[in-house]
Amino acid sequence: MPITCLDADTLDAYLQGQLEDPSLDAHLEECPACQSALDQRDAAVNGAFERLREPASATEIWEQPTFLQLVAHAKEINPAARSSGE
Ligand SMILES: [Zn+2]
């Protein structure tokens, strides 16, 4: 008997290894929708941990528009901070 697609709670429980049901495995193998849903939840969980492991990149901070605007604003306030050659 085919089971219906897994809901979010079931997918979470499955990802955490709380469910050991061969019928779930069988459904996941045959259902692209549940496979992609499972992949997305897996990636979301692992992605959060990867962001925690990776220190913020200095390059990214420098390239952020908000930061560049602050730098430009600071230069307007203090002309001495302008680079020479203007
Ligand atoms: Zn499904």
Compute, in angstroms, the gap from residue 59 CA to the centroid of ligand 1: 42
Q: Which of 77 and 82 is assigned the larger pLDDT?
A: 77
Domain ranges of the chain: 1-54, 57-86
Give pLDDT, residue 60: 67
State pLDDT tens for residues 4-60. Answer: 899 989 998 998 899 888 999 999 999 999 999 999 988 887 777 676 776 666 666
pTM of this structure: 0.51
Q: b/e for 26-38, b at 16 or more Cβ within 10 A?
A: ebbeebeebeebb
Ligand 1 centroid vs 29 CA: distance in angstroms?
9
Q: How far apart are CA 2 and CA 25, in angstroms?
A: 12
Answer yes or no: is pLDDT of 71 > 80: yes
- pLDDT number for residue 70: 86
pLDDT score at 1: 46
Q: Ligand 1 mean position to 42 CA, how many Å? A: 16
Q: How far is the CA of 17 from the centre of ligand 1 (A)?
A: 18
